[in-house]
Structure 1
Amino acid sequence: MSGVPVPRPSVSIGAAVPSLVRWGLSSDADLVFRTLTTMGSRDSRTLAAELGLPRRRIDESLAELRSAGAVAPAEREARTTTWVPRPPADLVAALRRRRLRLVDPHAQVRNHHGVVTGLTGSGLPVTAIGGTIGDGVRYLPTRQLTRFRLAELMNAERDEHLAINTEQAFDAASSRAAAPLSRRIVERGVRVRVLGLPPADRDLGVDAPLVEQPNFAYREGPEMPLKLLVIDRRVALFPADPADLERGYLEVSQPGVVRALVMLFDQHWATAADPRARCVPEIALCDREHELISLLAQGHTDVSAAAEMRISARLITKILRNLMDRLGVENRFQLGLMLGAARSVPIPLMTPTEVS
């Protein structure tokens, strides 16, 4: 076989391969792409044998990947096509550009005014900028003053925090001001729900550590009614001028208006989606499964892993079979790819001699 190039993986050992499912591709296509990037270029027959999938499913997955720009055919030899994966970072950037739909800022302003106009029946003044504020309505004339007031309200918050973001990208000052406040109320046990638009500059439109907290929830929708904050269902804040956030916010404590805004939030929450729902799901392993997978990742065989765990090799097989059934995969290779995608166990570092 001298002279035949050896397929090389397109990512380094231990590197994470992003899930393509969140970008609208099928789980089969994601599995095939993950195999190509981690194991090197292959033809469809080899992929079918290694993954234990019918050739038809492999061919359909490759066609899907090719249409998405995820793979390209190498030079054909002996009527066999070898498929070369696109670098994951380049592919994700292209898929993000393809999916992104920038929101029309003029439509966003119209939505805001439509909501505020609809609230005037509850006694909310709509000409608050520079004018007299009625009962239960306070005008905070600058964005900085609004931040100070919001910090004051959130420091006293006890039950629930609702927020709607209408930005697809956040400036550094807003991010620095908001993140610590949000983390503090979450740590105090305040239930937080945030609605947002699909972000233009990153995969998730909120502070990443927050999404792991049990009392924090985030959803995205294609359109949001207005930028809004509701504190404990008793105080609401929204921009006085949606076209210029530097002109400050209105703080409203009129019960009827706050109730209407909470109802509006709940309506949009019901139709929004968790952007992580189509990512590789978190895989919870019991202690014995975690120990076994860690040993196998280190290079142990079933027999040597059984000896380390002081159980029989037959029980090792049963543990793996149960885990495959639970995750809906058909063989150990697919199981390894899924566990690697979910980062369920640390990937052991390899020495230079092992990699070469």
Structure 2
Amino acid sequence: MDDSTDDGVAQALYARMHSRGESLPEAAQSLGLTVEEIERARDQLTRLNLLNPGTQTAVNVAAALARTLQRSHRALDRLVEQHVRTAALAQHYLDLPRQAGGDAHVEFFPRADRARLNQRIDELAELSSHEVLGLQPPANWTRETLEAGLARTKVTLGNGVRVRALYAQISLSNPLIREYVGHWRQHGVEVRVAPVIPTRLLIYDRHTAIVQADPDDLEAGAVLISGASVVSSIAAIYDYCWMTASEPEDVPGSPDGSDLTDQQRAVLRLLATGAKDSAIARSLGVSTRTITRLVSELTAALGASSRFQAGVRAARLGWLD
């Protein structure tokens, strides 16, 4: 049934209700309307303010028109008010960072201002139009914080923005991080890992960056830097780190304490120092053949090309913590 037919049914129903004082169910029954016709007519009359939802009776056309005009006036008033606010924002606030310090603008968020920093991060993620880059050093993540980050990332990805994240290899020793790496990649986030991530960093559209204030203290606050001339240089450093990083599947997972024995940990520590099998065997009081077998197994598990590389890689992955 097309719109003109729906209009005709609604008009006939309203005319009967208005002229005979019948309720909508009564008029619909008298006209022999189907359930579908009744629902479409009810929706039509409700939109036109010609139906009292409570009593299901007709509303006078003049009263409905007055009510509709009143609502329109209120909507128009709100629109005009919004226009005035937008004009004031553009005129008085849009250029403040540029006026205050040329192309670059710096803002410090102390630890006590974490809520305001999180709000700023949410705003930047929502306003990004091209790319979001992240450096994430090891931290005490919880499922709640990771879920909040995933929700924010979904919004960014939904806007067609490319999202890249670099994590420290040692972070993959955390089963929770490995789980969420899977979630991020499933939703379209590009993830790579590197042996060392020196600090926490977020870059938005190569114009705004948020960097950890103190690389040695995650709780020391953060610094926001805006300005393409400055942030583009920071982004270039990020690009180099990204180019030299590894895909997560190329990094062996770290076993938990029940899988890695004390003897294996001791062997790996000595391997990292460059010790020979015979020296390791004497140190641990076992045969050289046993050490040779352990070294072979551990090197294969780590995907290392040499004994020394196996020890170094194990240290970077946190296997020796």
- Flag the structure with more relative contact order, 1 or 2, with Cα contacts below 8 A and sequence separation at least 6: 1
Report the structure number with the largest CA radius of gyration. Answer: 2
Of Structure 1 and Structure 2, which has the larger fraction of its residues in helix? 2
| TM-score normalised by length of structure 1 | 0.38
TM-score normalized with structure 2 length: 0.42
